[in-house]
Chains A and B, each alone.
Chain A
């Protein structure tokens, strides 16, 4: 009881120094919590978002089409859930500057991309009509289009005059889901190609493969590509994630840096508290000599120093943990949902933060304890700090 009181009083001796150290630990805990939350959320997001979709394209380039016959072969591969495909249509709508993505797609595309949410009744009508199309909410707003309206387009990649009837408007499910696309029946495109340019009939831009188990993506990708090896149209299959290489390569480097940084912060704060404890125990060299003279043992000295170190680190962590929840919560509002579908402090983050605090408390006390135990009483009395 008396020892606890003494530990407490010792902590209050240099109020500014102790407060700054406690504040430093609190900030470190907040930074640690925030960084770990981003890191874990990112990895969760990446796995959940798109790892169950593979994209198969021509091994040379995107602009070379693949045969329609690949569809049935890919569907045979174990682990494949659904196969869809898509052609880039291009075209000019009213004016060259009205640019948005227009895609001829297999009818099951909305099963494969559930983030493009189309109302059931609209989808039913779309499915029944040859030249119907579904457009994103943003396009509908921008060009004031509603179901029943006609979109007339001048083809470029696929020449001719093309008319589409708007039959549905999809809602982007997440903040980062693209709301500016237009989808129409690939069959409609193919019918006209068969008639007008038979050489381009049954061409598919790229395949989208939904797989059952995301962890099998590498295996299935290899199997797909192996299937068409040494054929006139060899394929390159990768996850949708990897497909967006440019973005992801840089992001994952940042995430890795955050990962490393979160642990470096613990190291830095260990040095800060260690420094505080070393200064404090140097100043008290004479007092420790007095305690030993009076018959107090090494165990008591360890208790005094370790107790103070733990007290400071636990208080700092407590303050940090109290603040990290509201801070992470307010951060969540600014985070794109598609990449971070879950953004909250995981229990493991809390466990890590608390064990780091305990570890810091112990580590910071090691040098001062060693010094006190190795200092003889008479040396302690002769010490001039």
Chain B
């Protein structure tokens, strides 16, 4: 199996009024293609920051990031945007759907940047909404959907362009237990049936249990050798 993510000695700092806040310290991480990895850790440990770096919506202060075969830290702004739309799908804690667009239109958004014709786009969108089980909610607006349904629309939007990598930042953080289980089951399916590599940030041990590998982040450092036994101890 080939590596789809290779994080090499990456550090990230933010500056607040000339005060340096070091968030990630010299992180290295390798993820194989087709993997389902959960990233755990307490709030403020840098999970979101690491995810954003890997997904190419933020830039490291130091180090190298090779994702889906591209050295993304060296890409220019527009090349990076192109790379993102082709290679990564994003799922957020608060869904981040566009409220004035229907489920169909939200899922169609990433396809507007492709060369697909209108009818081809329609086919893709409908098929994807079927996969997430919302074939009958196509013309609903986000506020007409439940939280779990909104998150499924968001997942559909993330996978409609068929990216190799799916990143999810606390995708069940805002959902009740049942809806959360549904979302996790869907992600498992995407990983197994559709061979998506999934990188999921969570601090919910139940969620992490669904992943095949779990890594921990503590105050900006990746701790080694974690496994499911440790998680079970947490539950």
Interface of A with B (CB < 8 Å)? 2, 6, 9-10, 12-13, 286-287, 289-297, 376-378, 381
Taking a contact as CB atoms under 8 Å apart, the answer to whether A286 and B96 are in contact is yes
On whether the beta carbons of B58 and A294 are closer than 8 Å, the reply is: no
B contact face: mostly helix, strand, loop, or mixed: helix
Across-interface contacts of B145 in A (CB, < 8 A):
none
Chain B residue with Cβ nearest A5 = B105
8 Å CB interface, B51-108 against A: 52, 57-58, 78, 81-82, 84-86, 90, 92, 96, 98, 100-101, 105, 108
Q: How far is the CB of B93 from chain A (nearest CB, A)?
A: 10
Q: Is the CB of B52 within 8 A of A296?
A: no
Q: Report if A295-B57 is in contact (Cβ < 8 Å); known contacts: A2-B105, A286-B96.
A: no
| Chain B: minimal CB distance from A157 (Å) | 83
Given the known inter-chain contacts A377-B57, A378-B52, please indicate yes or no for A292 contacting B81, CB distance below 8 A: yes
14 contacts between A and B (CB under 8 A): A2-B112, A9-B100, A13-B100, A286-B96, A292-B81, A293-B84, A294-B85, A294-B157, A295-B85, A295-B86, A296-B81, A297-B81, A377-B57, A378-B58
| Residue pair B113, A295 in contact (C-beta under 8 Å) | yes
Contact A297 B78, beta carbon cutoff 8 Å: yes
Q: Does B109 contact A (CB under 8 A)?
A: yes
Is B84 within 8 A of A2, CB to CB?
no
Contact B113 A294 (CB under 8 A): yes
Q: Does B110 belong to the interface (CB within 8 Å)? A: yes
Contact B113 A293 (CB under 8 A): no
Give B residues with C-beta under 8 Å from A: 52, 57-58, 78, 81-82, 84-86, 90, 92, 96, 98, 100-101, 105, 108-110, 112-113, 157
- On whether the beta carbons of B96 and A10 are closer than 8 Å, the reply is no
User: A294, B101: Cβ atoms under 8 Å?
Assistant: no
Residues of A within 8 A of B101 (CB): 6, 9
* Complex contact A295–B100 (CB within 8 A): no
A378: B residues at CB distance < 8 A:
52, 57-58
In the complex with contacts A292-B81, A294-B110, A296-B113, A377-B58 CB distance below 8 A: yes
Q: Does the CB pair B82–A295 fall under 8 Å? A: yes
- List, in ascending order, chain B residues with CB within 8 A of A292's CB: 57, 81
Nearest residue, chain A, Cβ from B97: A290
Across the interface, do B57 and A294 meet the contact criterion of CB distance under 8 Å?
Answer: no
Q: Tell me the complex Cα distance, A381–B57, Å.
A: 11
B96, A6: Cβ atoms under 8 Å?
no
What is the minimal beta-carbon distance from B14 to any residue of chain A, in angstroms? 9
Cα(A292)–Cα(B98), bound, Å = 13
Is B96 within 8 A of A295, CB to CB? no
Q: With a CB–CB cut-off of 8 A, which chain B residues contact A9?
A: 100-101
Nearest CB of chain B from residue A205's CB, rounded to whole Å: 78
Given A294-B84, A294-B85, A378-B58, 15 more A-B residue pairs with CB atoms under 8 Å apart are A2-B105, A9-B100, A10-B100, A287-B96, A289-B96, A290-B96, A290-B98, A292-B57, A293-B57, A293-B90, A294-B113, A295-B110, A376-B58, A377-B57, A378-B57
